Structure 1
Amino acid sequence: MTTLGINTASPLTRLKRTLQAAFGLIVKSAIFITIALIGGALSSWYAVESGTRFNTERIGPWTKWSNAGRPDADPYSKVRFGNRNELVFSSVLAARYEASRDSEGRSLHSSCDYVLEGLRVPDAWWSLAVFDTAGRLIQNEARRYGYNAATVMRETSGAFVINLSRDAKPYNWLPTSRAGRMVIVLEVQQSTGTASLQTDQDSTVLPAIRRTACR
């Protein structure tokens, strides 16, 4: 109670109000710090999984990782590729492209079949393999894990397609078993030792990823 501008509240009441105000401030501060920590963690996770504009380049469904395997790579690239169960070539020697979605933007999944077509890499070594989201090669009874410039079967024109499916396909077939979500990795090395394609960076150089069926 206040009489004639004089605060007549009891000391206990004033203490209670002070504690309530302090508690409210502590709760607000805790909420702010929690949101900041969660936001920072999510931002770091996204940078590791999807890259940033400083270490990646989007080309159609493909993402080019410019610092893959480099000893002087940025922290996010080091974490991403340091945890992989695969040998990652340095981007100084080979350009690395990854795709986790098809050309229509849909996530790649082993319950669907895909055709990769249109890859054009003149006079360069390349390899293509499919992995699970943990960076492991997809185990399969056929023991087929990837193709490269020397092993892929071509048409007389030199063109080729690669089929991704859990069911056997003729010619260039990569089994996907029941891996769930998948990542396709394409590595390209120039005969000159440079890590860029000998054309403008055009999405037509990299293969289109076309979904043909789902179960």
Structure 2
Amino acid sequence: MRFVLRLLMSIVVALCVGFGLSYYALTDGRLFGAVTLGPWTTWPDIGAPAPNPYTNGHIAREAAFQLGRSEGLRFVATTDSDGAPLDLSCSYRLDGHVPVSTFWTLVAVDGDWVNLAAPGTDAALRSSEVIRTEDGAMRVHVGTQLRPGTWMELAGSGPFSLALTLYDTTALSSFASANTTMPSIAREACS
């Protein structure tokens, strides 16, 4: 009788762990196939001709148009550099260098990927519009409250994500992956 109970318990534990890891891999899956650089996460195999199974699951779950590997790479941040979730009641400052690319865009989206740009403003901030520091780094303020310098005005309330899309980039390619750095995201003020 003990053997049967232990066998049943082992099967239940195995099923729970298996289904739990499968659910995690398909919903978040940052441990499987994703690359995280500070608060930024990307799936570099998304544009590959034969992506790994975890990336395939992520693509199917997201059901969004994806760029090919040679076209670009999208990084998404849902937290600031300290690990706190991004919230529209706060303002944020992005500082640092963006990986080498021909062009990049920055957008803010909600959980349903609806753009949060304030009415009457551009839907995305483009690399050609950013004021740079003396060393070529960018400094961008993001939020609902006006800030000096380059400011991306948002509207709405609640949590949001930032999506930085690099076009024609060498980021995370085999010869440039060690030098890939992303901008930091610092919380400034909350209302």
TM-score range, shorter chain: 0.7 to 0.9
Counterpart mapping for 1:121-136 below 5 A: 121-122=99-100, 124-136=102-114
Q: Distance in 2 between matches of 1:28 and 1:156?
A: 64
| 8 A contact 1:86–1:135 mirrored in 2 | no
Q: Distance in 2 between matches of 1:59 and 1:52?
A: 13
* 1:146-178 superposed Cα distances (whole Å, 9 cap, x missing partner): 22223x232585553222213344543141521
Matched, 1:163 2:133: no
Runs of 4 or more off by more than 4 Å in structure 1? 155-159, 193-200
* 1:81-131 superposed Cα distances (whole Å, 9 cap, x missing partner): 334364321233213322222111222222322111212444621122222
Structure 2 gap ranges (5+): none
Residues 63, 141 of structure 1: CA spacing in aligned structure 2 closer, same or farther, 3 A cutoff? same
- For structure 1, which segment, 167-176 or 64-73, has the greater mean C-alpha deviation from structure 2 after superposition? 167-176
Q: Distance in 1 between matches of 2:57 and 2:112?
A: 13
* 1:46-83 superposed Cα distances (whole Å, 9 cap, x missing partner): 22313235x22222222232112445222322232334
Residues 86, 172 of structure 1: CA spacing in aligned structure 2 closer, same or farther, 3 A cutoff? farther
Q: Distance in 2 between matches of 1:86 and 1:183?
A: 16
Q: Give the alignment partner of residue 208 of structure 1, picking from 168, 184, 189.
A: 184
- What is the total number of aligned residue pairs between the two structures? 187
Partner of 1:153: 130
* 1:166-212 superposed Cα distances (whole Å, 9 cap, x missing partner): 3344543141521x33222222233xx64547856346x31110111
Q: Distance in 2 between matches of 1:136 and 1:71?
A: 28
Q: Distance in 1 between matches of 2:66 and 2:112?
A: 14
Residues 166, 202 of structure 1: CA spacing in aligned structure 2 closer, same or farther, 3 A cutoff? same
- Scaled by the length of structure 1, what TM-score is found? 0.68
| 8 A contact 1:84–1:134 mirrored in 2 | no
Structure 1 gap ranges (5+): 1-20
| 8 A contact 2:72–2:166 mirrored in 1 | yes
Q: Distance in 2 between matches of 1:86 and 1:138?
A: 18
| 8 A contact 1:95–1:196 mirrored in 2 | no
| 8 A contact 2:101–2:167 mirrored in 1 | no
Larger Rg: 1
RMSD of the alignment, in Å? Answer: 3.3
Partner of 1:113: 91
Q: Report the 3-state secondary structure (helix = DSSP H, G, I; strand = E; otherwise coil) of the residue aligned with 1:81.
A: helix
Q: Distance in 1 between matches of 2:18 and 2:133?
A: 53
Percent of aligned positions with the same letter in both sequences? 23
Partner of 1:175: 154
Q: Give the alignment partner of residue 51 of structure 1, picking from 2, 13, 30.
A: 30
Residues 112, 36 of structure 1: CA spacing in aligned structure 2 closer, same or farther, 3 A cutoff? farther
Matched, 1:187 2:165: yes
